Structure 1
């Protein structure tokens, strides 16, 4: 059974989400404070954190930063901040999804189910890409550059995995969004671009002249790696 941690200061919201998710078979833990959520995260293995940004003690952004330093757990951010800049900032902090309040508990539950379907599919694959410099282990979900492990968020890794597993194949942004976030994703078109920009900073020697994640003008992206 997958464990989910909800860090949300509105107890009624937490209770509703908990009821929906437990009905789907997940084990759900709730806390109203960021620091309590971090302590709980240290004691229990979680597969997903649903994180509100407006918390009474520390900000959700701070919680996200802490979790990203110690874990690759999937993080769904919940917030009333809805501007494009806010969404980009959330993704840059390491969020995998960004849901704007008010939202439907059914929609969030559908996104959670889609996430775990993708996780289970990825678990069934055992493959390694290695060109001598860049090594991608699909089973262990690790990326190394010349033997040094590179940290990627879950969505960043999924992007690298999809592109590198089909080297040379061009994927549109819509195809990548559907493969990573699910067909019902209601985010914004620049989601993939933000993730690609962050990946390039981590694995490319020159992010302005990328070797691995190649832009195909007016279409999308492909994996080079020559």
Structure 2
């Protein structure tokens, strides 16, 4: 049985998305506050979570942080129109995508399908990549430098993997957006920049003199290695 957790204190929104999700073959779990959302996550281990930012008892950000301590389940944050800081915050703490109110239920389900397709492909293609002191394990979604485990989000790991296995190859923002978020993603290239910025900040806490993520101005990004280490 495939569960979709819908966490929103707006009963009308939850009801509509619930009906649409049933048509897609999912069993909806409804939560109208953050604590209930976390409880149902722990009990049912849903396949994907739709998480409203503004909820009573515990807001969506706090729920997302708690979920990310133990799971890489896909999370779509639901934010208020025009609140860019909510989108940035959601992505920063580990959300896979965001959707802005008001929205159409069809758009929501399109994003759900896209994210779950990518999640399924990730599972099929899971591998381990090692370079110098870096190890990326897509079986467990972990990254280590000098055997120290980094605290990275699922999307940050996917970006690092994509760049690293293609060392010294330049990826444009659109390349990364399309390959990691999908052609049917509704965001823009700034999403890539935000993730790269946060990923670099985390990597820079550890020594990695033989490799780095470099910006190619006007083009995109690459995983650059020292000539002697190619």
Same fold (TM over 0.5): yes
Deviations 1:104-153 (A, max 9, x none): 11111111111111111111214321124110112332211111222221
1:163 corresponds to: 163
User: Hey, what's the Cα distance between the residues in 2 that align with 1:199 and 1:2?
Assistant: 31
1:134 corresponds to: 134
SS at 1:188 equivalent: coil
2:40 corresponds to: 40
1:79 corresponds to: 79
Post-superposition, which runs of at least 4 consecutive aligned residues in structure 1 deviate over 6 A? none
SS at 1:55 equivalent: coil
1:223 corresponds to: 223
2:92 corresponds to: 92
Return the offset for 1:2: 3.5
Calculate the aligned-residue CA RMSD, in Å: 2.1
Count residues with an aligned counterpart.
225
2:109 corresponds to: 109
Return the offset for 1:86: 3.2
User: Hey, what's the Cα distance between the residues in 2 that align with 1:180 and 1:53?
Assistant: 24
Deviations 1:132-180 (A, max 9, x none): 4110112332211111222221211221222122222211111111112
Deviations 1:26-80 (A, max 9, x none): 2321111110111111122223211001112222222222222232222111021
User: Hey, what's the Cα distance between the residues in 2 that align with 1:5 and 1:213?
Assistant: 35
Query: Structure 1: where are the runs of 5+ without partners?
Result: none
Distance 1:57-1:49 versus aligned 2 partners, 3 A rule: same
Q: TM-score, normalised by structure 2?
A: 0.89
Q: TM-score, normalised by structure 1?
A: 0.90
1:211 corresponds to: 211
Contact 2:150–2:202 (8 Å) recurs in 1: yes
SS at 1:46 equivalent: coil
Query: Structure 2: where are the runs of 5+ without partners?
Result: none
